[in-house]
Amino acid sequence: MDVKPGWQGRFFEDFEVGDVYRHPLGRTVSEADNTWFTLLTMNTNQMHFNAQYAERSEFGRPIVVSTFTVAIAVGQSVTDLTQNAFANLGWDDIRMTHPVFAGDTLWSESIVLDKRESASRPHAGIVTVRTRTLNQDGKEVCSFKRTFYVYRCGAEQIEGVFPEGERPLTVED
């Protein structure tokens, strides 16, 4: 049997200062997404869930919870940045630069700002990136800096995670 490895994400050695990653998945935000996130996080600001209240604002309609926008941006970046990370070390300069509304489609991209070896964890390094999120019209809606620990290639902590099946996977199954 020839097992083809899937995308395993980037390791510390793969990052270079100045690299830009356009994260591959866009995400259209629905009204239900915003409502659920508002409920889950106990955010009681009526701008997020009361259409009559929000219609009196300069936006004229409910805006998406800003922490949901940040969560989408982080989620979009995992494939390229933190598939092999094991800890976030910091979030800095979070900016919400344009409102997000239900129906907007968000896309994110990141640039590597810094990388250094860990003095206390020889199996890892520290990477800092700036991520920005754009809506379907190219307007930046969010940006932030993020620093995280990421494993080195071959780190024993991530070897052998996928379990062996009790029997091999075959074409005949």
Q: To which residue do tokens 């390791």 refer?
A: 11
Walk along the chain (173 residues) and give the pLDDT tens digit of each residue: 677 777 789 999 999 999 999 999 999 999 999 999 999 999 989 999 999 999 999 999 999 999 999 999 999 999 999 999 999 999 999 999 999 999 999 999 999 999 999 999 999 999 999 999 999 999 999 999 999 999 999 888 888 778 888 888 888 86
Domain spans of the chain? 12-153
What's the pTM? Answer: 0.89
Query: Could you tell me whether strands 105-117 and 27-28 are parallel, antiparallel, or unpaired per DSSP bridges?
Result: antiparallel
Q: What was the pLDDT predicted at 1?
A: 62
CB atoms within 10 A of CB 2: 3
Residues 6+ apart with CB under 8 A from 86: 124, 149, 150, 151, 157
Residues 6+ apart with CB under 8 A from 39: none
CB atoms within 10 A of CB 144: 19
Residue 123's nearest CA partner among 78, 87, 80, 81 is 87
DSSP helix/strand/coil, 38 = helix
Can you tell me the distance from the alpha carbon of 171 to that of 173, in angstroms, rounded to the nearest whole number?
A: 6
* Superfamily classification of domain 12-153: Hotdog Thioesterase (3.10.129.10)
Query: Could you tell me whether strands 85-95 and 105-117 are parallel, antiparallel, or unpaired per DSSP bridges?
Result: unpaired
